[in-house]
C-alpha cells in the first residue's frame, strides 16, 4: 500500500485540520484558511473538505499541501511523520473508511448543493444591496436592491440552519427547498447571470 493510500485511510480531514490549528464547530465548519473568511464557510467531512466561499476542495493530503505550500508527496510524508504512521505497514482495519449508506450519501450531496446555491445567492444579494443602493431619496429603487432587502435575511437564515441545525431539521429544510423548486430556480438563474456577466466582460474587452 502506497503512502497516499495509507495516510488517507489513517487520518481524517477533521483530525488533520484540528492538529494544524483549524478548530471545527460541532457541525465541522471552520473559517477557510485559503481566503479572507469572516464567517466559517469550510465544511470538514471525514474524507474531504469543501469551502462554500472560494470553492477550495480536496482530501486530507490536498488540505495539508495547501496549508504548508507542499507537494502532494511532501504533504503525505508530513502527515505520516506528524501522526506516527509507518507507510510500510497497512493501517488497522478500524482506520479504514466505513462505507456510507447510499441514502445518507445522496442526502449529503443534496445538502451540499443546497448550501452552495444559497451561499452563491447570498453573496449576490449582498453585492446588489451595496451596488444598487439609492444615492438620493428621489432615485427610483432598482429591482435588485429591492430583492436584496426582501431576501437577504431569509436566505442567510436558511444557510445558517443548513450549517448549524441538527440533522433532522437539515433534512426537512433540504426537502422543502427541493419540493418548492427554489434551489433549481436559483441555480438556473445564477448560471444565467454568470453567463450574461461573462458575455458582457468579453464585449468590454473586445
- Which pLDDT score is estimated for 24? 73
- Which pLDDT score is estimated for 89? 56
Strand pairing class (57-58; 49-51): antiparallel
Q: What is the mean pLDDT of each run of 10 residues along the chain (206 residues)?
A: 82 90 80 87 88 90 91 90 73 44 72 89 92 90 93 89 81 88 91 86 77
Query: Is the distance from CB of 35 to CB of 13 less than 8 angstroms?
Result: no
Query: Is the distance from CB of 153 to CB of 161 less than 8 angstroms?
Result: no
Three-state DSSP class for 50? Answer: strand
Backbone angles phi, psi at 42, to 5 degrees: -105, 125
Amino acid at each position: 500500500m502506497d503512502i497516499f493510500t495509507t495516510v488517507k485511510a489513517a487520518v481524517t480531514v477533521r483530525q488533520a485540520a484540528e492538529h494544524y490549528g483549524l478548530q471545527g464547530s460541532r457541525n465541522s465548519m471552520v473559517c477557510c484558511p485559503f481566503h479572507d473568511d469572516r464567517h466559517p464557510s469550510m465544511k470538514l467531512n471525514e474524507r474531504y473538505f469543501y469551502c462554500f466561499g472560494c470553492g477550495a476542495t480536496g482530501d486530507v493530503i490536498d488540505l495539508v499541501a495547501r496549508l504548508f505550500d507542499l507537494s502532494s508527496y511532501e504533504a503525505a510524508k508530513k502527515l505520516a511523520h506528524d501522526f506516527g504512521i509507518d507507510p510500510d505497514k497497512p493501517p488497522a482495519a478500524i482506520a479504514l473508511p466505513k462505507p456510507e449508506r447510499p441514502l445518507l450519501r445522496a442526502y449529503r450531496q443534496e445538502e451540499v448543493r443546497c448550501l452552495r446555491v444559497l451561499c452563491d445567492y447570498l453573496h449576490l444579494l449582498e453585492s446588489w444591496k451595496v451596488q444598487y443602493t439609492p444615492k438620493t431619496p428621489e432615485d427610483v429603487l432598482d429591482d435588485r436592491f429591492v430583492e436584496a432587502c426582501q431576501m437577504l435575511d431569509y436566505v442567510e437564515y436558511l444557510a445558517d440552519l443548513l450549517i448549524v441545525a441538527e440533522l433532522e431539521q437539515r433534512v426537512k429544510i433540504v426537502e422543502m427547498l427541493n419540493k418548492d423548486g427554489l434551489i433549481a430556480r436559483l441555480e438556473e438563474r445564477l448560471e444565467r447571470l454568470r453567463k450574461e456577466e461573462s458575455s458582457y466582460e468579453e464585449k468590454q474587452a473586445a
